[in-house]
């Protein structure tokens, strides 16, 4: 009886050992399988990386990566070539070496450029630059230098690269405070009407010591307060209404009238 009992215990122990061995075997298979999968994935990743590096290398070594089209839109103050030079862009340069962020950042640092947006097309090798330049009010001379007055009230030294600004109104006899007031008053006036002005100078009357006299491109004279200068939008209509010889036009208290020049 005792022997049977011992035999039964030995059998159970054997079964436990065999079961444990089987579990360990299965575990080893799983571990080996996982390692194999890991090695396979690593090889695939390395292969993909090599293919990618090879593709980029081929792309960089061929003309496919070259800049083929450069286009600047809405520029007036600067020529297209000046904009491209500022952004260090040139034909046959590599597209990847000129990130959009860098181009926009460099151009927006210029005081005469308000905003920039850049679009790149890698398939055609094209870079399109849209610029929004600062609004120009006029130019003036001070301290032996030439300046351009912007609508934001800032004055920027005028150099030979901004020849397009020479056609803007010439400002005479206005101090710094008056120039800032002029910039604020003309900031909302369309460029179309500002371009009609040849010269802007200080003007004084018995009722207002701080007015403006505008010498127009056509030879007429407009005398106005700073607050009424936006009536320039009516200038052409005034000329059609008063069909006489050279005269002065007055913009005062929101009204327009014509009279002799004293």
Q: What is the pLDDT of residues 203-250, one digit of tens each?
A: 988 778 889 999 999 888 999 999 999 889 888 888 777 665 657 888
Q: Which residues of the chain have pLDDT under 50?
A: none
Closest CA to 83 of 132, 124, 126, 123: 132
What pLDDT is attached to residue 51?
76
Q: What is the pLDDT of residue 59?
A: 60
**Shared domain check, 242 and 143:** yes
Interatomic CA distance for residues 136 and 156, integer angstroms: 10
Do residues 194 and 169 lie in contact, with contact meaning Cβ atoms separated by under 8 Å? yes
In terms of domains, do 110 and 225 share one? no
Residues 73 and 155 in one domain: no
CA distance 68 to 94: 9
The confidence score (pLDDT) of residue 30 equals 64
With residue 139 as reference, give the H or E element that holds it. strand 136-142
170-172 sheet: strands from edge to edge? 155-157, 145-150, 136-142, 170-172, 197-203, 211-216, 221-224, 248-252, 255-259
Give pTM, 2 decimals. Answer: 0.70
Range of the domain at 128: 64-133
pLDDT, tens digit, 9 for 90 and up, residues 159-175: 766 655 667 899 999 99
CATH number at residue 99: 3.10.20.310
Tell me how far CA of residue 145 lies from CA of 64, 131, 158, 239, 255, in angstroms: 47, 27, 8, 36, 37
| First vs last C-alpha separation in the chain | 144
Same domain, 179 and 234: yes
Kindly report the CATH number assigned to the domain that includes residue 215.
Answer: 3.40.50.10960
Q: What's residue 26's pLDDT?
A: 66
Question: Do residues 177 and 195 share a domain?
Answer: yes
Q: How many domains does the structure of the chain reveal?
A: 3
For residue 54, CA distances in Å to 57, 120, 198 come to 5, 23, 62
Helices and strands per DSSP (H, E), number in the chain: 6, 12
133-123-87 Cα angle (round to 5):
30
* Paired tokens of 12: 């159970």
Report pLDDT for 168. Answer: 86
State the DSSP code for 135: P
Structural domain ending residue among the three candidates 61, 80, 112: 61
Residues 153 and 249 in one domain: yes
């Amino acid at each position: 009886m005792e022997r049977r009992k011992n035999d039964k215990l030995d059998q159970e122990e054997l079964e436990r050992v065999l079961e444990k061995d089987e579990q360990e075997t299965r575990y080893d298979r799983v571990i080996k399988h996982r390692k194999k999968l890991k090695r396979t994935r690593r090889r695939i990743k390395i292969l993909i990386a090599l293919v990618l590096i090879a593709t980029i290398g081929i792309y960089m070594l061929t003309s496919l990566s070259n800049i083929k089209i450069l286009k600047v839109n809405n520029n007036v103050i600067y020529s297209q070539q000046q904009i491209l030079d500022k952004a260090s862009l040139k034909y046959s340069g590599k597209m990847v070496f000129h990130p959009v962020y860098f181009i926009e950042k460099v151009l927006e640092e210029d005081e005469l450029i308000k905003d920039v947006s850049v679009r790149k097309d890698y398939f055609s090798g094209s870079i399109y630059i849209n610029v929004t330049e600062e609004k120009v009010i006029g130019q003036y001379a001070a301290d032996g230098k030439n300046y351009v007055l912007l609508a934001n009230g800032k004055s920027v030294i005028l150099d030979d690269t901004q020849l397009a600004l020479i056609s803007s109104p010439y400002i005479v006899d206005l101090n710094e405070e008056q120039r800032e007031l002029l910039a604020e008053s003309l900031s909302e006036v369309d460029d179309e009407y500002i371009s009609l002005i040849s010269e802007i100078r200080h003007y004084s009357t018995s009722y207002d010591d701080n007015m403006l006299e505008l010498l127009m491109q056509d030879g007429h004279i407009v005398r106005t307060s700073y607050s009424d200068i936006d009536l320039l939008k009516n200038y052409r209509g005034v000329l059609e209404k008063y069909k006489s010889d050279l005269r002065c036009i007055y913009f005062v208290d929101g009204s327009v009238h014509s009279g002799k020049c004293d």
